[in-house]
Amino acid sequence: MSLQGPKGFRSWTTGLGLREDGDDFSVLVSAVPAVSAAVFTRSRFAGPSVQVSREVAATGTARGVVTIAKNANVATGPEGLANAREVRDKVAAITGIAPGELLVSSTGVIGRQYPMDQVREGIDRLPRTLPDADLPAVATAMMTTDTLPKHVSARCGEATVAGVAKGVGMIEPNMATLLTYFCTDAKLEQPVLDRIFRSVIDRTFNALSIDTDTSTSDSAAIFANGLAGPVDEAEFEEALYQVALHLVRKIASDGEGASKLIEVRVLGARDVAQARRVGKTIVNSPLVKTAVHGADPNWGRVVMAIGKCEDDLDIEPTKVVVRFGEVETYPAPSTDEVLEAATQHLKGDEVVITVDLGIADGEFTVYGCDLTDGYIRINADYTT
């Protein structure tokens, strides 16, 4: 996968002074009208930026997004809502876009008002004609505790699908402290785009968990301007899925303090919902996470996690199989050879845990990371 931008998208980034060094403000828009789809956090403390964006997204005609990093603009009351609207309206006015076509997103510390004097000064530097989209710059300006920018693109016939994302913590149960945006020059009807987008998000970003905590600012959106013409719907969904999955794996690998990507594949479940539930229980277990971090082939922690699904009465221990990589650790005898082979797999940068429940043909894969002392340090000192 590469990073080739789709036709007709423009961007701009600058520093508002919210982070010590580098850009923390970005605009990504289509130069022509577009159709869109979006999903947002389900948190009861959703921030003003999410509230404004929900209103815009309801029309299905958004063509871009403005993002402020290092300030979540959450729990900021009527003033925070007014500030979010002002940011959207000022950017829209300068770029010649209707306010109802522009999403707003924010990420960072909760409970602090935007420093509006700095924000206004930054927006005033916005050129009326934006340059061609620089997706790596947009991805970099979105970062908070990320250690690297996350961006990728893929081809779909004559069209391109590109995505950017930020997120490394507070990732569960629905998306994350996550901002992710996709742009494409494929031509699709809005209802089709919405259906495909929701399906892909459910199988990628909603299959991701870092620490079981969810955010107040989660936002995911896609903008399609149609400049490359029609595409095959199935091919487009596969291209979007691959772009989203690449970003998910990047986020899991870059989880706060993480040293390893964990992929949990659940097979043989009653249905997809059960497979998802079991997979999330495993990847969210602190004991599983720490075992992976220490390359300890303690399969007992995996079966312990499965056992917490106490309402799934059709899970029979005698039917369950657990593998680390290709190594069967349960119910196989825990010989020295088996444990050594499992240990070698756990020493890698990517760890695959496969669980076959032996019930039916439901399956689902979830993604996460190990738990390290680095995670504790990042979050113990987050606002200080």
Q: Which of 177, 180, 204, 354 is catalytic?
A: 177
DSSP 8-state symbol, 208? B
Is the bond into 173 cis (omega within 30 degrees of 0)?
yes
d(CA 373, CA 268): 35
CA dihedral 246, 247, 252, 258 (to 10 degrees): 100
d(CA 153, CA 182): 9
145 Cβ neighbours under 8 A, 6+ residues apart: 168, 169, 256, 378, 382
d(CA 226, CA 9): 11
Angle in degrees, 0-180, between the axes of helices 77-95 and 48-57, rounded to the nearest 10: 50
Active site residue 354: no
CA dihedral 206, 210, 215, 219 (to 10 degrees): -40
Q: Which two tokens stand for residue 176?
A: 């994350």
Angle in degrees, 0-180, between the axes of helices 272-283 and 286-293, rounded to the nearest 10: 60
- Give the H/E segment covering residue 93: helix 77-95
Backbone angles phi, psi at 226, to 5 degrees: 75, 10
Residues with a known catalytic role: 177
